[in-house]
Structure 1
Amino acid sequence: MARTANRYLKAQPPTARSKEIFLAGNYLRLSVDSDYTGSDSLENQRKLAKEYAEKNKDVSIVKEYIDDGKSGTSFDRPAFTRMIDDLKRKEINCVIVKDLSRFGREYIEAGNYIEKVFPFLGVRFISIVDRYDSCDAGCDKELLLISLKNLMHEMYARDISKKVGSTFQIKQEKRMFYRSSTIPYGYKMDESNENYCIDEPAAEIVRQIFKRYRQGMSQYELCRQLYQNNVLTPSQYRQTGRIFKSPEDTLKIWQSSTINRILKNPVYMGDVLRHKTQQSFCEGKKSAKVPDEEQILLTGNHSPIVDKDTFLSVQNRLAQIKEEFAAYRMHSDVIAKSKVFEADVLENKVFCGSCKAVMVRAVEYRKVNEKTEQYKVYRCSTHRKISDCCDSRYIEEQALCEILYCTIQEQLLLIKGLKKQIENDVQFSFEGKLRHIEHEKQRITNRKALLEQEYLEQYARYTEGRLTVDEFQEFRKTYTGQKKSCDMQAKELETEETKIRKKRTSIKKMFSAWMALDGETRLTEAMVHCCIERVEVFQDKRIDIRLSYQDCFAMLEKWTEGGK
């Protein structure tokens, strides 16, 4: 394996790069159908990137993003999304992948990222096996080849999808066990890697969850107890291999949804439920739930963690609680429902100002003229799980939406008031700055040409013996310093030019997007998606709103205050 990796690295042609150190994110992906030990294994991808960084001193790997068991036919992957967010926040400015198939197998979207998105963000993209580096000017000629490769990768993915789908279907019809992408908490693969066997440390946690829920403890109380006992969540356990928190771990709060999935999963009494969802990459169909009667249950597949009586008793309690809640909702005396949207359009946009956790939409009740009214609020998710970890702050959905609407209207007034100036004066200002930068770049180019000419003249004098070694060395030292200064000024001008062009493009986009919302009489879903980036709610009723294109608004406000 090492010889293969070294072959790819040695085959790269030497290129002259700047001394800038790129902060790289190493992106690794393993498909659901990939083998876990072959050339595409996570370990091999990690090793290849590490060896590349060791040989190229201008690249430093600072973060790693892993999508384990994720298909390359879609870019809707958790780790990939986090990587793009980090690129936008400038936490990294380089992406390394083993090859383009690890990056993605959907050729149109992959080409869009490589040829448009990454250059726009100023991101360096490196595909080791394909010997592609966006910082190498010679690689631009290979973009067509890259597109063709991505097309072949997509065709390959569709072909594999058909074959893998057929294999799974045959195994389901024969009621054969096959490994899922994620092994259930409490189990691990046996030595032959063919079936589940009990992972005793995690299995003991599962037994306690079933035991205490059967005894009457609620799911929220179980989350609190697991957190107080320093038990790592299943995802943390998969990453660290530790059941309990160690000094280097950041303890996360267990989710009630995680407890609920454990309690409902028949895998813990030795059965495996298969064919729960169905999708087709080759036909472009997304994952959809399969009706209960069409799902396949493999009974007695492996050793159980809890006995059948315990599992069925827990299912009875879950069903009873569900029925009681449904009956309560049916016979409640709620006469009115106060809500702004049917769906939670502010999902993952409202955060607690203290613990920075997302605030979740919840139902509350109040008395209005001696009758009950139902309304929606946003509460800190940390407090809902573990009340000691944060306070009980909340904000009513209707009040929050009114504040957001007024804030958006205020910015719209600013845009409308500056419409002609934005279209004329601001545009003229940008063009003036770009002309000035172009003039300065030409001045530096001329200066470098004069320096070069002077260097040649002094070198000729030195070779003719009219200049001593010490005199020529002193001149060369001065020449080198002046040339370096010119190069630095040229680089600063290029950076400034890129920033100005980006600002001009952002203002055009902002103006077009926001003006399309003019005339709305209330907050709409389109306004939320277009205008709101993040909202933080504080205990003292203060609200911090970050709008989309906020940098553009700040620039416009500064521009109007300065009168230029």
Structure 2
Amino acid sequence: MKKSNEEKRVVIYCRESRDDYGENYERIETQRDLLVKYCKGHGYTNIVDVIMDDDKSGTDFSRFDDIRNRAKNKEIDVIVFKNSARLGRNQKEALDFVEYLEEQGVEIIFEDEQYNEEMFGLYAWFNERRARDDSKNIRRNLRHKIEEGDLLVKAIYGYNKNGKQLVVNEETAPVVQEIFELYSKDWGYQKIATYLNKKGIPTPSQSRGFTNAKQSANWKAQHIVRILDDRRYIGDYVGGRTEKLSFKSKKTIVKPQDEWTILENHHEPIIDKELFEKVQKIRKKRKKESDKYNNGFKFVDVENNLYSGLLYCGRCGTPMYKRKGTSGTRKRPDSYLCKKYSNEGAIKEDIRENYGCTPHRIRIEYLDQIVNAYIDNLISNPEFKSFVMDNVKAISINKQTLEKDLNKSKQTLEKWEKQFKQVYEDKLNDLIPEFIYKDKKQELEKKIQNEKEKLEEIQSKFNSLNKLEDKEDLIFKAIEDIKQNGLTKEELSRLFDKIVVFDKNEITKEEKDLYNLNDMMYNELYENGGLAFHLKFMYPQTITNRWM
């Protein structure tokens, strides 16, 4: 039976976007009050939510993810906007969103214009053109302000922002000066970062109380690189270095240097030009040497990176990264290293608990041999085949049982829902008194909710068994492909969840249980170090000493 306006569950959606100068053409609270008044005037009294997206771009449709889920779960009947522009300014996304709501049976209402399904595509096109024109005007105004020397960004480390000017921060400016001085004395990026950590100097994000300060709790080499690379420290203002990819996108791109706006002697310098130029010459010289010998510590080989996302450090749990080898007098083979060790260096408990790690270095030539040996062991091991076949048989039996339970639960749910509808119709036709209707309604709602939860639990178990069954097939297929075509990233990902690299005396009793290791495997790994292979399903793992 069709719901009346009073019964429909209504969501009011308000959106207001500010331009880059913080201007706001209409208070979002005014928009909300207007829509609440409209709903009450048209009988939509069951307002279940008011969403206020203040300062949100009309081209970003991820803001509707929650509404999509609620529509899918049949939690809303109507959504009210001020107009089509408040919905969004991206034609394709707007059309897709409206189509999705209609498929879910959600009614769309615009307060100051008639919603017309046939005409909505045209409205969306006009709104997108408006967003494009607004974006161009904003960029033009930004460019003008940059050229006039107006500061449009946050102050960099070492400075504070006072109105439109950069003023020296007396606490952090000496840190910037020390960084330049140390680098000019042949200190490296990581050595300077470790030195600052040991002194307990707050990082740039910590010093300004950023919300993500915990993510930058330690100085890293990249912090030092950014500071040494920034000519704003000699008093020059550099603007317009980046721009958005398009008015629809949040992604930014770095513009060519000849398109930057550079204003010399814009503010008080922290570093004199002579020291800045000296540092740049040293950096340029070191880069040439690094390129010549191809031995930079950070030189990561992104090609043929078979184990990316699969190989993890056994001590700290961070991923391992591939370090390309070198030739010549300082020959170094291709290998994988712990990423935390790369970022922070060796373990230094005097700086912070859990600071740093050990390299956990493993040569790729050895890693390939170990992985191939492990796969050969799986194929030749009759226990492995027996284990998988028993799993397949057990999964099949469990699926049959769950399928029966699933059908039974669906039938029960359908029965309760029919009874609920019948009780509601009896109430509308005055066949039952109000107090009986309320009791029955409450009783049936509880039964329906319980049955839905039961059905969801059964369905989840059934889906899990389907995934396990698929994994059995994928594992055999992956092994077959590897033996025919050699190791590939795709097949390794189908076979393993992860591979963990342990040093000697590192693996714990808890990890023994986690990786399903027997006593012999655990003792070998504890005494010698090695690899723990975690397959896509639980199976006793084979351990091989990583040094072969």
Does the CA contact (< 8 Å) of 1:279 and 1:286 recur in 2? yes
Compute the displacement of 1:287 (Å): 5.0
Contact 2:501 2:531 in 1 (8 A): yes
Structure 1 equivalent of residue 409 of structure 2? 437
Residues 1:351 and 1:408: Cα distance change in structure 2 (over 3 Å): same
Q: Secondary structure at the match of 2:317?
A: coil
Please report how far the alpha carbon of residue 446 of structure 1 lies from its aligned counterpart in structure 2 after TM superposition.
7.5
Tell me, yes or no, if the aligned pair for 1:534 and 1:546 is still in contact at 8 Å.
Answer: yes
1:324 aligns with 2:254: no
> What are the superposed Cα offsets for residues 235-268 of structure 1, whole Å, 9 maximum, x if unpaired?
33343499xx9xxx78722120111110011010
Is contact 1:340–1:397 with CA below 8 Å preserved after alignment?
A: no
- The match for 2:450 is 489
Q: How far apart, CA to CA, are the structure 2 residues paired with 1:372 and 1:305?
A: 41
Matches within 5 A, 1:136-147: 140-142=106-108
Indicate conservation of the 8 Å contact 1:207/1:305, yes or no. Answer: yes
Change (3 A) 1:295 1:407: farther
TM-score (norm 2): 0.59
In the alignment, which residue of structure 1 is the partner of 2:20? 34
Q: Which amino acid aligns with 2:229?
A: K
Amino acid at match of 2:361: Y
Letter in 2 for 1:375: D
The equivalences for 1:62-461 within 5 A come to: 98-99=52-53, 102=56, 105-106=59-60, 113=65, 140-142=106-108, 155-169=129-143, 175-179=147-151, 181-191=153-163, 194-240=164-210, 252-277=217-242, 280-282=245-247, 287-329=252-294, 342=303, 344=305, 347=308, 350-363=311-324, 372=331, 374-382=333-341, 384-387=343-346, 388=348, 389-392=355-358, 393-400=360-367, 431-442=403-414, 444=416
Tell me the percent identity: 16
Separation in 2, partners of 1:528, 1:428: 31
Say whether the 8 Å CA contact 1:365–1:372 is kept in structure 2. yes
Does the 8 Å contact 1:187/1:203 carry over to 2?
Answer: yes
Q: In structure 2, do the counterparts of structure 1 residues 438 and 350 end up closer, same or farther at CA, with 3 Å as the change threshold?
A: same
CA distance in 2, matches of 1:451, 1:117: 29
User: What does residue 80 of structure 1 align with?
Assistant: none
Compared with structure 1, are the counterparts of its residues 241 and 525 closer, same or farther at alpha carbon in structure 2 (3 Å cutoff)? closer
When residues 14 and 441 of structure 1 are mapped into structure 2, their CA distance, relative to the original with a 3 A threshold, is closer
Query: Secondary structure of 2:172's match?
Result: helix
Q: Distance in 1 between matches of 2:186 and 2:302?
A: 36
CA contact (8 A) 1:105 1:150 kept: no
Q: Residue 524 of structure 1: CA displacement? A: 2.8
SS in structure 2 at match of 1:105: coil
Distance 1:452 1:346 in 2: 60
Q: How many angstroms apart in 1 are the aligned matches of 2:321 and 2:241?
A: 28
Letter in 2 for 1:492: E
Specify whether residues 430 and 341 from structure 1 end up closer, same or farther in structure 2 by C-alpha distance, changes over 3 A only: farther
Q: Write the distance in 2 (CA, Å) between the matches of 1:516 and 1:101.
A: 51
Distance 1:441 1:110, change over 3 A: same
SS at match of 2:171: helix
Q: How many equivalent pairs are there?
A: 446
Q: What code does the residue aligned with 1:257 have? A: Q
Q: TM-score, normalised by structure 1?
A: 0.57
Q: Is the 8 A contact 1:99 1:129 kept in 2?
A: no
Q: Alignment partner for residue 486 of structure 2, among 522, 528, 537?
A: 522
Query: SS at the partner of 1:196?
Result: strand
Residue by residue, what CA displacement relative to the aligned partner does 1:411-465 show, whole Å, maximum 9, x if unpaired? Answer: 9999997999899988766643431221332455588799999x9xxx99x99xx
CA 1:264–1:536: 2 relative to 1, 3 Å:
same
Q: Note the C-alpha offset of 1:314.
A: 1.5
Contact 2:301 2:322 in 1 (8 A): no
**Structure 1 unaligned runs (5+)?**
1-11, 18-27, 49-94, 333-338, 464-471, 556-564
Contact 2:413–2:452, Cα closer than 8 Å, also in 1: no
Give the aligned partner of residue 78 of structure 1: none
The structure having more radius of gyration, on CA atoms, is: 2
For 1:266, give the aligned amino acid. R
Alpha-carbon contact 2:71-2:106 (below 8 Å) kept: no
Work out which of the residue numbers 478, 487, 502 in structure 2 matches 1:538: 502
Distance, in Å, in 2 between the alignment partners of 1:312 and 1:506 is: 60
| AA aligned opposite 2:219 | W
Question: Structure 2: how far apart are the matches of 1:155 and 1:300?
Answer: 40
Looking at structure 1, the residues matched to 80 and 387 of structure 2 have their Cα atoms a distance apart, in angstroms, of: 46
Report the CA distance shift for 1:262/1:340 in structure 2 as closer, same or farther (over 3 A): closer
Q: 1:16 to 1:390 in 2, by over 3 A?
A: same
Structure 1 Cα separation of the partners of residues 395 and 59 of structure 2 = 41
Distance 1:141 1:532, change over 3 A: farther
Task: Please state how far the C-alpha of 1:234 moved relative to its aligned partner.
Answer: 1.8
Deviates more, 1:429-438 or 1:96-105: 96-105
CA 1:324–1:237: 2 relative to 1, 3 Å: same
Deviations, residues 302-334 of structure 1 (Å, cap 9, x unaligned): 11111112212211221222233334349x9xx
Contact 1:97 1:127 in 2 (8 A): no
Distance, in Å, in 2 between the alignment partners of 1:394 and 1:362 is 10
* Structure 1 residues 280 and 519, CA gap change in structure 2 (3 angstroms): same
- Pair 342,168 (structure 1): closer, same or farther in 2 beyond 3 Å: same
Relative to 1, partners in 2 of residues 1:280 and 1:449: Cα closer, same or farther, differing over 3 Å?
closer
**Unpaired segments of 5 or more residues in structure 2?**
33-48, 88-99, 110-114, 349-354, 507-528, 540-548
CA distance in 2, matches of 1:101, 1:127: 20
What do residues 104-124 of structure 1 show as CA deviations (whole Å, max 9, x unaligned)?
6255x777x467778889999
> How far apart, in 2, do the equivalents of 1:159 and 1:236 lie?
38
Which residue of the partner structure matches residue 520 of structure 2? none
The residue type equivalent to 1:207 in the other structure is Q
8 Å Cα contact 1:277-1:288 kept in structure 2: yes
Give the whole-Å Cα distance in 2 for the aligned partners of 1:512 and 1:128. 49
Q: CA deviation at 1:223?
A: 0.9
Shift in CA distance, 373/176, structure 1 to aligned 2, threshold 3 Å:
same
The range that moved more, 197-206 or 346-355, is 346-355
CA distance in 1, matches of 2:420, 2:231: 75
Cα separation, 1, equivalents of 2:366 and 2:7:
61
